[in-house]
Chains A and B, each alone.
Chain A
Amino acid sequence: MATGGYALRAYDKWQRLLLRGGKWQLRDPRAAALIRQNLGTIIDIETLKVRFRARMGGAPLGEIEESFAATLTPGDTFLIGGQVVRYEGLNELTVEVSRAPGRDPRVAVFSGTKFATSTVLADRILAILQLPAWPDLPRHTAEWLTLQREVSELPHPDRLLIESFPHDGREHLCLYGFAGRNGQQTLGLLVTKVMEERGLAPLGFVATDYATLIWGLDPVTDAAPLLDLDHLRAGLEGWLAGNAVMKRSFRNVALISGLIERSHQGRRKSGRQATFSSDILYDTLVKYDPNHLMLRITRDEAMRGMVDFSRIEQMLTRIAGRIDTRRLDRLSPLSAPLFLEPGKVPVQGAGRERLAEDAARALLREAGLD
């Protein structure tokens, strides 16, 4: 912090550490509290409290993730504490809502801890899926799997099942790779990159332990060409530049190191406090200081935790090109849980541009300005 990177070069008068009597000391002793609070940080999801709107502060209902709250506009409804509520506005750090029974709600998301399932467990699950019937499983699970077998098929250990279907005005592609959450996430990044190159306009994806769901504007009828191992590996080489997973890792690194701050015990974030988009900082550092310590840490973090490319290699070797693309007219039972999965990763590309242009045209037409 005193000698490294840009801190010394640009701000020699404002270093964080100071050499005093042969010992390094904090320049500002008040910073010690902040650093101690950051030691051993486990990055949690920022949440906001939800209350009914009332003069003296209504009954608390629970908490929602800040990232979800940020997507709400007054009038939106969502589900919390077993009831449908209407978003009224944000008061300080509390989300104020009113009752709105009978409305069609959005689902507030909560992400739990995310550990990838091991290969052994994934193999066992795949073996179970091959059984002719599942008398040992709970009835609803057995029915769920039976339905999947009826309308599509169940994933097979030596093949890769890919489903393609329209849902809610978007085209979807679901890849059942069973490569663990991190592997499936990397698969999502790499496949959407190939899709972007081929003009298939992907908009985003989400991964679970067993599948990756990609949505976009154009249908994919033959997914096999998207899964060429060499091509995917080449994509991995270039993937460091500006992807969402890297940015998310960077955000955590930046929080722990104190580059950006979050509210701490006893300190409230006020509206006027300068907060900086970690994405902009990431882009700036990548451009001007690509070997900065923070970026090296981010890369290590991402490679260790989130990439898990070896699982994808294993999976593609195992299936050896046996890829079944099923075109369905609606979502399948096995893909349904992915729609409720938090941690959706947006793909910034031609698809989003097309969407924005359409939205702009529609707004102009509505306002009679075109």
Chain B
Amino acid sequence: MSLDFFFGPARLTALASGALFWAEERLLCVSDLHFGKSERLARRGGTLLPPYETRATLERLDRDLDRVAAKVVVCLGDSFDDLAAAEGMEEDNRLWLARLMAGRDWIWIAGNHDPGPLDLGGSHRGEVARSGLVFRHEGGGAGFEVSGHFHPKASLAGRGAKPCFLIGKTRLILPAYGTYTGGMPADDRLFDPLLGAGARAILTGQKPLLIPRPTR
């Protein structure tokens, strides 16, 4: 299930899983994977959560990559819950990730949770520009910008709150892709200056749904 929309010069596809696909570039973009979140919380003396979220996230990523046959993958930052979580990734998950990366141009964009380079292959960038779009972790810059960071979510009659894409004229904010990620309501005033008036949202779920961005 997917939904096509236009953003600046590009025709993009929002996947129901929360990933963004740019068919023309064969590029798949995911944001805020937060691999190793349960491990980091445990390490810091927090709650001991079932540690399967990395596998669950990898499973969805694997399925999406397979479906759209992406050549380029952009991870928009906060891919790991912190740098130690990247190093502490379990061996089988690390191999799984390596298998997904094989044969693809894989770009890790730095986020606030994972600011440094990772020992994982792929290229590590602060931001990356491509055919008229610019990809960075936290939105607010120039150009037709694709960003993550805020984990937007919105609800609709019949559905609970679901992660959502937010689409303004020049800024596109992706939902968090990670399994254990919370969210910020899409009607938060913080988004007003970023997206401007007339912004739209695409809710993830069984089927992606386009709605006007909720406002307060």
Contacts and interface: CB of A to CB of B under 8 A. Distances in A.
Contacts of B43: 13-14
B201 to A, nearest CB: 10
Interface in A1-57: 6-7, 9-11, 13-14, 16, 28
Contact of A288 (B56, B203, B209): B56
A284 B52 contact: yes
A14 B42 contact: yes
Task: Determine chain A's interface SS by DSSP, over half rule.
Answer: helix
A28 B199 CA distance: 49
Contacts of A360: 156, 203, 209-211
A359 B180 contact: no
Contact of A359 (B38, B51, B90, B158): B158
A357 B203 CA distance: 11
B159 to A, nearest CB: 5
The CB with the most chain A CB atoms within 10 A, among B48, B157, B205, B207, is that of B48
A14 B212 contact: no
Contacts of A284: 50, 52-53, 56, 179
Contact of B180 (A280, A354, A356): A280
Interface stretch (A152-160, A176-184, A361-369): A361-369
Given A352-B158, A353-B206, A356-B159, A16 B48 contact: yes
A328 interface: no
Interface in A327-370: 351-357, 359-360, 363-364, 366-367, 369
7 contacts: A28-B45, A259-B48, A352-B159, A355-B157, A360-B211, A363-B156, A367-B212
A7 B200 CA distance: 42
A14 B209 contact: no
4 smallest CB-CB distances across A and B, nearest first, come from A355-B158, A367-B212, A288-B52, A10-B51
B212 A353 contact: no
Contacts of B203: 356, 360
A187 B47 CA distance: 36
Contacts of B56: 284, 287-288
Interface of B: 38-39, 41-43, 45-53, 55-56, 90, 156-159, 179-180, 182, 198, 200, 203, 205-207, 209-212
B210 A288 contact: no
A10 B209 contact: no
Given A359-B158, A360-B210, A281 B55 contact: no
Interface residues of A, number: 39
A288 B211 contact: no
B158 A356 contact: yes
A107 interface: no
A363 B211 contact: yes
B94 to A, nearest CB: 14
B47 A260 contact: yes
Interface in A118-157: none
A363 B159 CA distance: 15
Nearest to A359: B157
Given A259-B47, A276-B47, A11 B42 contact: yes
Highest count of chain B CB atoms <10 Å: which of A275, A288, A366: A288
A285 interface: yes
Nearest to B187: A73
Given A11-B39, A287-B56, A356-B209, A281 B49 contact: yes
A278 to B, nearest CB: 11
A39 B158 CA distance: 37
B205 A356 contact: yes
A274 interface: yes
A10 B55 CA distance: 13
Contacts of B210: 360, 364
A186 to B, nearest CB: 23
A289 B50 contact: yes
A255 B210 CA distance: 36
